[in-house]
């Protein structure tokens, strides 16, 4: 990973990537980005404004593949100083839940606990009816 010069930095690219939300997480009510899910493997910024982002998806052949990669292009290409952007899909290493950052882990665990509470409550209501 290299941080480069005038304007465009690796940090700025990461900030841009943090605005790209995972569509399945959004559908599930979670404001989680591709960074939160640990989908980004590597960011490289060259002095001449070339940017390379190596990333994966939670599933090989994900139905939202083109949408997510397209949004990553949009977000990074909008950065001042980004002259040429390359998003490199990588299916290896395969993504696992171990890649989640603490924020995503907490959100999904909270969601799972809420789901279990709902199921339990419904079960009790059904038993009492």
What letter would DSSP give residue 98? G
For another protein, which residue of 11, 15, 42, 67 counts as binding (CB under 8 A)?
A: 67
| CB 68, min distance to another protein, A | 9
- The nearer residue to another protein, 45 or 55, going by C-beta atoms, is 55
CB of 71 to another protein, least distance (A): 9
* Residue 42 contacts another protein per CB under 8 A: no
Q: What separation in angstroms does the CA of 10 have from each of 4, 13, 24, 50, 53?
A: 7, 5, 26, 11, 10
CA angle 56, 67, 79 (to 5 degrees): 80
User: Residue with structure tokens 């993504």?
Assistant: 95
Q: In what order do the strands lie in the sheet with 50-55?
A: 40-45, 50-55, 84-89
Where does this chain touch another protein (CB under 8 A) — which range of 6-14, 28-36, 37-45, 55-63? 55-63
Is position 88 an interface residue for another protein (rule: CB under 8 A)? Answer: yes
Interface residues with another protein (CB under 8 A) are: 60-61, 63-67, 69-70, 73, 87-92, 94
């Amino acid at each position: 990973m290299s941080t480069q010069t005038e304007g465009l930095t690796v940090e700025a690219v990461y900030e841009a990537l943090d605005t790209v939300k995972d569509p399945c997480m959004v559908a599930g009510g979670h404001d989680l980005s591709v960074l939160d899910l640990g989908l980004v493997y590597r960011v490289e910024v060259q002095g001449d404004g070339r940017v390379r982002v190596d990333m994966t998806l939670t599933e090989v052949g994900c139905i939202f593949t083109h949408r997510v990669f397209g949004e990553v292009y949009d977000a990074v290409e909008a950065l001042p100083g980004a002259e040429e952007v390359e998003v490199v899909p990588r299916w290896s290493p395969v993504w696992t839940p171990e890649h989640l950052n603490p924020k995503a882990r907490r959100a999904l665990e909270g969601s799972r606990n809420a789901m279990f509470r709902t199921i339990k409550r419904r079960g009790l209501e059904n038993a009492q009816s």
